[in-house]
């Protein structure tokens, strides 16, 4: 290496080292930030995204934290997470127990979103899936105790579709009926009306993210009774009809009607006097 | 003699206090004015602008969006709606015309805090501290974009003081005050003008919009310069001044072409000889294209 080149080389060397230093510094900062983001991006289960929000990971890449959805929410449901809150800073959310989503028909929050973090494809609010109501506390729910509270059912904007009351026999009293609130995931939007309305000091019914509120059946599972209906007949052959060992002229309806006399005019095989029955048998044998 | 005086003292003596501070005052008025427009809604219910500087809607028709945030979003892998794209294009064209880093000097609220720190440093003669290379901000800019891809999110928005402060003032500060205090102390005690002119990737992004900006400050009266150094003392990016101010002999024109000049015009204020004025990049009589390249490239 010539002496004349030495100076240029040294300059180049210094330049490269400086640049590498800056790049490494920035990269270190980046590693720290990404590590931090893993924690900062965990959404608490009680924080619910506005209707139409993309899946959480996509949402965090799409939302520019401008707050236009918050501004156009007529019920002050939505708010932006402040620095220090457990929700990712600047992103919109609501807490169902405080102010639930009123499910506006024109969905102003989605209309206001400039980026598509709230999906413009959502035009019918009933299609929103902000979360899923789950009756998490079956020990304290008044309806589970046999009372007729029904408040969650009554306030549901999709009454009888998203929540229905299913009668069940109350074995404790032996003569009453439980009216069990059942949430149907094919209709529940996760608006949170039920959670806010729950009369208990701590709601027994809560809006949870779908991933927490819902199980998933095995992909190979088939419900036999549904498959049978689809196919118009049993898939397991031969599907022989079950036969009850019944007296002549009788049927048994296992779905509730029980023992049925086929023709009311036919004589009962059991006469009032048991001796008559025995005599009849004797006659038949001869 | 002027070394003993505060920067701008000579200008005040020769031009009067108002003229020696007119651009600074105008700049603060714009910064606070735009912030007030945003605050009119939440504070008084007068909704001229909704949203915040990340993205906003003016008078229910005009969408304005930050191109840096949109870029982060693109790097995070999101295909945006047209509204935010239109908003970002409008903003980009505006800053292309007036100078990218006008955003820093005339809009960004953090600028007021770091300017205060810089002023206090001068006032109380605080010397020394860590000095980061000015190119660091570009590396950090690259990092924020790669980080957006890796994390699939607007990574920098977790800590970006500019949007945090603006959003905080409009939607609720939370712990942003602490962040501001940290930033102020960082600039005051740890690193002179450390944040805005060395590290902030947002400023770096906006500087890239200024490559061919027409509106520039020119040292048009550079032959009158008496080397008082006041412009260097107040300039947040003093490296942009020398080629324009002292380049006459090398045939470099008087227009300041460094992409990091924020067009804050404080140099116009503090110069008692009226060397500087607003001008355009095309009013460089002696300048050849190779010089344009040299000046903006080397001194960014």
Looking at residues A7-12, what average pLDDT do you find?
85
Q: Is A117 on the interface with B (CB under 8 A)?
A: yes
Calpha distance B147→B291 (Å, rounded): 36
pLDDT of residue B298: 45
- Give alpha helix (H) positions in B104-263: 110-123, 136-151, 161-171, 176-185, 194, 201-207, 230-234, 241-246
Residues B154 and B171 in one domain: yes
Q: What is the residue whose two structure tokens read 């039920």? A: A194
pLDDT of residue B70: 93
Residues B103 and B190 in one domain: yes
Residues B205 and B221 in one domain: no
Mutate to test the interface with B, among A29, A37, A88 (most CBs of B within 10 A): A37
CB-based contact A68 B56, cutoff 8 Å: yes
Indicate the residue among B169, B188, B209 that finishes a domain: B209
Calpha distance B10→A247 (Å, rounded): 121
Calpha distance B44→B243 (Å, rounded): 48
DSSP letter string over chain A? --HHHHHHHHHHHHHHHHHHHHHHHHHHHHHHHHHHHHHHTPPPTTEEPPTTBPPHHHHHHH-----HHHHH-TTS--EEPPTTSSSPTT-EEEETTTS-----TT-HHHHH-SSSSB-TT--SGGG--S-EEEE--TTT-TTTTT----HHHHH-TTBTTTEEEEEEEETTTSSEEEEEEEE-TTT-----HHHHH--SSS-SEEEE-HHHH-----TT---HHHHHHHHTS-SSS--PPP-----TTEEEETTTTEEEES-TTSPPSS-SSHHHHHHHHHHHH-
Tell how far CA A61 is from the center of its chain. 25
| Partners of residue A258 on adjacent β-strands | A253
CB-based contact B152 A60, cutoff 8 Å: yes
CB-based contact A40 B148, cutoff 8 Å: no
C-alpha dist (Å) from residue A221 to A216, A217, A227, A238, B128:
10, 7, 11, 22, 71
User: Torsions phi, psi of B63, nearest 5?
Assistant: -85, 135
Residues B104 and B157 in one domain: yes
Domain total in chain B: 2
Q: What is the residue whose two structure tokens read 């579709």? A: A161
Q: Is residue B271 part of a domain?
A: yes
∠ at Cα A48 (A30, A71), nearest 5°?
90
Question: Nearest residue of A to residue B146 by CA position?
Answer: A30
pLDDT of residue B255: 87
pLDDT of residue A42: 83
3-state secondary structure (DSSP) of residue B74: helix
What CATH number did the domain enclosing B251 receive?
3.30.70
Chain B residues in contact with A41 by the CB 8 A cut-off are 151, 153
Chain A residues in contact with B172 by the CB 8 A cut-off are 79-80, 82
Residue segments in chain B with a per-residue pLDDT below the cut of 70: 1-5, 285-300
Among residues 24-53 of chain A, which lie with CB inside 8 Å of chain B? 25-27, 29-30, 33-34, 36-38, 40-41
Q: Is residue B273 part of a domain?
A: yes
Residues B146 and B184 in one domain: yes
Which member of A40, A64, A117 has the closest CB to residue B158?
A40
The answer to whether the complex's ipTM is over 0.85 is no
pLDDT of residue B287: 46
Which member of B47, B78, B156 has the closest CB to residue A61?
B78
Calpha distance B145→B151 (Å, rounded): 10
Please give the share of chain A, as a percent, with pLDDT higher than 90. Answer: 52
Question: Nearest residue of A to residue B75 by CA position?
Answer: A61
Min Cα–Cα distance to chain A from B49, Å: 10
Q: Is residue B167 part of a domain?
A: yes
Confidence of residue A3 (pLDDT cuts 50, 70, 90): low
Whether residue A166 is predicted with pLDDT greater than 60 in this model: the reply is yes
Q: What is the residue whose two structure tokens read 């929410």? A: A73
Whether residue A1 is predicted with pLDDT greater than 60 in this model: the reply is no
Chain B residues in contact with A37 by the CB 8 A cut-off are 151, 153, 155, 158
Chain B residues in contact with A29 by the CB 8 A cut-off are 140, 143
Residues B104 and B134 in one domain: yes
Which member of A61, A72, A83 has the closest CB to residue B153?
A61
Question: Nearest residue of B to residue A88 by CA position?
Answer: B158
Residues B189 and B222 in one domain: no
CB atoms within 10 A of CB B36: 14
Please write the tens of the pLDDT for every residue from A25-66.
Answer: 889 999 999 988 888 888 888 899 999 999 989 999 999 999
Exposed/middle/buried for residue B2 (C-beta within 10 Å: 0-12, 13-18, 19+): middle
Question: Nearest residue of A to residue B66 by CA position?
Answer: A64
Q: Is residue B159 part of a domain?
A: yes
Q: Is residue B300 part of a domain?
A: no
Indicate the residue among B181, B209, B237 that finishes a domain: B209
Chain A residues in contact with B57 by the CB 8 A cut-off are 68, 112, 114
Chain B residues in contact with A39 by the CB 8 A cut-off are none
Q: Is residue B55 part of a domain?
A: no
Contact call for residues B194 and B187 (beta carbons, < 8 A):
yes
Min Cα–Cα distance to chain A from B82, Å: 7
Whether residue A131 is predicted with pLDDT greater than 70 in this model: the reply is yes
Q: Is residue B87 part of a domain?
A: no
pLDDT of residue B3: 47
Indicate the residue among B179, B209, B239 that finishes a domain: B209
Residues B6 and B111 in one domain: no
Structural element, H or E, at residue B277: strand B277-280
Chain A residues in contact with B77 by the CB 8 A cut-off are 58, 61
- Enclosing domain of residue B234: 2-12+213-280
Q: Is residue B287 part of a domain?
A: no
Please write the tens of the pLDDT for every residue from A94-127.
Answer: 999 999 999 999 999 999 999 999 999 999 999 9
Residues B160 and B217 in one domain: no
Residues B222 and B132 in one domain: no
Chain B residues in contact with A17 by the CB 8 A cut-off are none
b/e burial code for range B258-292 (CB count within 10 A of at least 16 → b) = bbbbbbbbbbbbbbbbebbeebebeebeebeeebb
Question: Nearest residue of B to residue A85 by CA position?
Answer: B174
Q: What is the residue whose two structure tokens read 């504070």? A: B43
pLDDT of residue B112: 93
Q: Which of A3-7, A117-121, A132-136, B195-199 is least confident?
A: A3-7
Residues B201 and B158 in one domain: yes
CB atoms within 10 A of CB A234: 12
Residues B261 and B138 in one domain: no
């Amino acid at each position: 290496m010539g002496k004349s080149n030495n100076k240029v080389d040294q300059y180049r060397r210094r330049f490269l080292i400086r640049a590498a230093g800056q790049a490494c510094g920035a990269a270190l900062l980046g590693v720290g930030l990404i590590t931090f983001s893993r924690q900062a991006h965990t959404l608490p289960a009680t924080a619910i995204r506005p209707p139409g929000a993309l899946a959480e990971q996509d949402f965090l890449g799409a939302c520019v934290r401008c707050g236009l959805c918050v501004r156009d929410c007529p019920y002050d449901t939505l708010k932006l997470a402040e620095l220090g809150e457990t929700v990712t800073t600047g992103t919109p959310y609501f807490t169902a127990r405080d102010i639930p989503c009123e499910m506006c028909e024109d969905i102003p929050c989605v209309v206001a979103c400039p980026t598509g973090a709230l999906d413009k494809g959502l035009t019918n609010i009933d299609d929103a899936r902000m979360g899923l109501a789950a009756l998490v506390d079956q020990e304290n729910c008044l309806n589970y105790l046999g009372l007729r509270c029904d408040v969650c059912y009554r306030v549901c904007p999709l009454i009888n579709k998203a929540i229905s009351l299913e009668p069940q026999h109350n074995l404790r009293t032996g003569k009453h009926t439980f009216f069990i609130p059942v949430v149907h995931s094919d209709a529940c939007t996760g608006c949170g009306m039920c959670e806010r309305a729950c009369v208990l000091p701590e709601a027994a019914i809560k809006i949870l993210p779908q991933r927490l509120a819902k199980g998933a059946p095995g992909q190979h599972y088939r419900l036999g009774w549904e498959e049978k209906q689809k196919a118009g007949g049993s898939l397991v052959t031969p599907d022989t009809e079950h036969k009850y060992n019944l007296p002549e002229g009788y049927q048994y309806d296992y779905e509730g009607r029980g023992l049925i006399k086929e023709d009311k005019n036919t004589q009962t095989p059991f006469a009032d006097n048991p001796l008559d029955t025995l005599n009849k048998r004797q006659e038949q044998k001869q | 003699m002027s070394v003993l005086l505060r920067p701008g003292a000579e200008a005040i003596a020769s031009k009067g206090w108002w003229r020696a501070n007119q651009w600074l005052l105008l700049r603060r008025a714009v910064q606070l004015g735009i912030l007030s427009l945003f605050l009119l809604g939440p504070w008084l219910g007068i909704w001229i602008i909704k949203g915040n500087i990340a993205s906003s809607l003016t008078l229910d028709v005009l969408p304005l969006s930050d191109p840096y945030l949109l870029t982060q979003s693109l790097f995070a892998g999101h295909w945006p709606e047209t509204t935010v794209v239109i908003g970002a294009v409008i903003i980009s064209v505006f800053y292309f015309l007036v100078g990218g880093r006008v955003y820093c000097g005339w809009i960004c609220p953090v600028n007021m805090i770091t300017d205060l720190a810089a002023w206090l440093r001068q006032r109380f003669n605080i010397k020394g501290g860590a000095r980061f290379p000015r190119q660091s901000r570009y590396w950090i800019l690259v990092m924020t974009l790669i980080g957006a891809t890796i994390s699939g999110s607007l990574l920098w928005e977790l800590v970006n003081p500019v949007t945090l402060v603006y959003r905080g003032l409009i939607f609720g500060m939370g712990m942003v005050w602490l962040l501001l205090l940290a930033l102020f102390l960082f600039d005051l005690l740890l690193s002179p003008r450390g944040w805005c002119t060395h590290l902030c990737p947002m400023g770096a992004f906006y500087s890239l919009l200024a490559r061919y900006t027409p509106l520039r400050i020119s040292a048009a009266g550079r032959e009158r310069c008496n080397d008082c150094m006041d412009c260097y003392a107040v300039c947040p990016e003093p490296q942009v001044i020398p080629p324009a101010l002292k380049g006459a002999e090398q045939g470099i024109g008087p227009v300041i072409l460094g992409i990091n000049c924020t067009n804050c015009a404080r140099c116009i204020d503090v110069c008692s000889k009226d060397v500087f004025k607003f001008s355009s990049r095309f009013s460089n009589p002696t300048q050849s294209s190779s010089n344009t390249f040299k000046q903006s490239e080397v001194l960014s």
